[in-house]
Homo-oligomer: A and B are copies of this chain.
Amino acid sequence: MSVIDELFQANHRYATARHPHRLPLPPARKVAIVTCMDARIDPAGILSLAEGDAHVIRNAGGRAAEALRSLVISQRLLGTRAVAVIHHTDCGMLTFSNQQLTTQVKAELGADASGIDFLPFSDLEASVIEDVRLLTDSPLLEPQTPIRGFIYDVHSGRLTEVGIPAMAASGT
């Protein structure tokens, strides 16, 4: 059986066992999580999130630039008022450059990916700082939103908060 058929059958068992219930559309705890697509991260598990608690935005790396569209919708239409950015150890984004991946796509698929910034990074902590700053500085998010950054250790399961250094004043 194909993996998607397996998932579909697993959902059938899930839905058959579940008591139907209605939860409101806006997240109960008014928080949005931005994290990586990595298979070893279960946001609900590691943060004890219940169904209905939080928006969970995931992409390769947990990059904020790509999450911004979703965060504007989350804040303006659905009332979230805090953001946690969570990157993680042993992330695939640490293993390549745009040029390497573009070359690989060309070699393996014959396709041109040169127009895409794949948003890789070479320093995990720096990537968290960059992403928290990007969101903190965005005029598209609610002023004074608590935006905090973390590194998740996929081995231990533990989050560590990343301190965000103050920006140097411009011109200095």
Q: Which A positions have Cβ atoms within 8 angstroms of B? A: 2-4, 6-8, 10-15, 18, 20-23, 25-33, 37-42, 44-49, 51-60, 66-67, 69-70, 72-74, 76-78, 82, 84, 90, 92-93, 95-96, 101, 104-105, 108-113, 116-119, 139-143, 146, 148, 150, 153-159, 161
Chain B residues near A153 (CB-CB < 8 A) = 15
Contacts A/B (CB < 8 Å), 29 sampled: A2-B146, A3-B31, A3-B82, A4-B82, A6-B29, A7-B33, A7-B48, A14-B45, A14-B47, A23-B39, A27-B39, A28-B39, A37-B56, A38-B55, A39-B52, A39-B53, A39-B55, A44-B45, A45-B51, A60-B70, A72-B105, A76-B101, A76-B104, A77-B92, A109-B139, A109-B143, A110-B139, A111-B139, A111-B140
